[in-house]
Structure 1
Amino acid sequence: MQKSSIEAIVEQALQDGYLTPAMEAEVGRICDSAFELSVEEYMALDRLMGSLLTGEVVAVPRKQFINVMEELVLAESVARVAEIESATNTVLDLGDIAAYALNRLPPLYATTEEGAAYQRKRALAELQTLITQQVKEAIDRSLDRPKFFPERAGIEPKPQEGVLSQLNNLLQAYAPEFEDKSHP
């Protein structure tokens, strides 16, 4: 019998000593989409949980970061859309406008408040004209676009109620400070 993806991921984590966010997401995807997990898959998840609790495998935390460009584009988009909507009876899709502009602007990622402040200052000094231009172009395109596919569904966050979420909650309950104390 060929190993399941969960078993392969667990073996890789045990071999490497790390469970990456991508590996965690793939296990979650498999668990959420499976009608029923096999005994082998449950055993692999149990082995992973035990390894995480003992420190044999370390869960690599997701890096906390922001794209400062998103907040700058959103602020510009909100201001321009509000002007148009208050002066006309036109309703614009703020998400479409921001996404269009963001796809044409450089990302400005930061992992600290100081880094974010630097990126904001840099963007306002060097990129504000480009931000304004891209938001204007996004609005112009949105106003000129025919109303195709009115049944479009927006992207909504998926609930985290799968097996992996339960595993994460269990690990947090039994070892809430584990990563902080064992890895300075």
Structure 2
Amino acid sequence: MSIEKIVEQALQDGYLTPTMEVEVGRICDNASELSIEEYMALDRLMGALLTGEVVAVPRKQFINVMEELVLTEAIARITEIEATSDTTLDVGDIAAYALNRLPPLYATTEEGANYQRQRAKTELHDFISQQVNEAISLNLNQPNDNKTPVSTKNTGNEVLQQVSNLLQVYAPNFEQKSNNLKPI
């Protein structure tokens, strides 16, 4: 989307979303020189922001602690691998793959974020490491022209193992006692 279209949309809606803001920044960063029209559109946007005609929507009022934990784990593992080989790994691909297989841990305050971090370190550390390692393994085995792992084919045993891992994480104290079961 062009700067002019983004500004037009912001003026029409009355707000500038974080996505619109990022896109304007990306265009400005990648352009060696902006056109007169682009400068005029940016000037209109700045004026509308100053007068309140357009309101900038705050970026985030919450955080997903799992993102920072996965990134920390992924960067540590990638650094180890890249230091000992000629391989270059994409942190974004690896983090996205792992995050798609892990539960989100949202918080709206620093206190809540600290709680989620502590909880994740005690209850989910091994699961996070496992998902990051799986993402790295898949990334290393992908052809260079397609580094984003889209899906993997799971056998029944692999799916069963993933479910078992999830149950161990979320219900570690649950035990099924065979003497309490009655035949149906």
TM-score, normalization: structure 1? 0.52
Between stretches 70-79 and 121-130, larger displacement belongs to 70-79
Measured in 1, the distance between the counterparts of 2:100 and 2:117 equals: 18
Out of 24, 35, 39, the position equivalent to 2:36 is 39
SS at match of 1:11: helix
Question: For the Cα contact (< 8 Å) 1:68–1:108, is it kept in 2?
Answer: yes
CA 1:93/1:7 → structure 2, altered by over 3 Å: closer, same or farther?
A: closer
Out of 20, 44, 65, the position equivalent to 2:17 is 20
Task: Identify the residue that residue 3 of structure 2 maps to in structure 1.
Answer: 6
Measured in 2, the distance between the counterparts of 1:74 and 1:10 equals: 33
Measured in 1, the distance between the counterparts of 2:60 and 2:99 equals: 21
Out of 33, 45, 48, the position equivalent to 1:48 is 45
Measured in 2, the distance between the counterparts of 1:78 and 1:44 equals: 39
Between stretches 54-63 and 123-132, larger displacement belongs to 123-132
Task: Identify the residue that residue 112 of structure 2 maps to in structure 1.
Answer: 115
Identity of aligned residues (%): 74
May I ask how many residue pairs the two structures share in their alignment? 141
Coordinate RMSD, CA, aligned: 4.2
Task: Identify the residue that residue 160 of structure 1 maps to in structure 2.
Answer: none
Q: How does 1:1-184 map to 2 (within 5 A)?
A: 5-63=2-60, 65-73=62-70, 99=95, 101-102=98-99, 104-124=101-121, 126-134=123-131, 141=137
Question: For the Cα contact (< 8 Å) 1:78–1:94, is it kept in 2?
Answer: no
Gaps of 5+ in 2: 145-184
CA 1:40/1:94 → structure 2, altered by over 3 Å: closer, same or farther?
A: closer
Letter in 2 for 1:47: R
Letter in 2 for 1:123: A
Letter in 2 for 1:27: V
Q: Which structure would you say has the larger RCO, counting Cα contacts within 8 Å and 6 or more residues apart?
A: 1
CA drift of 1:68 comes to 2.0
Question: For the Cα contact (< 8 Å) 1:77–1:94, is it kept in 2?
Answer: no
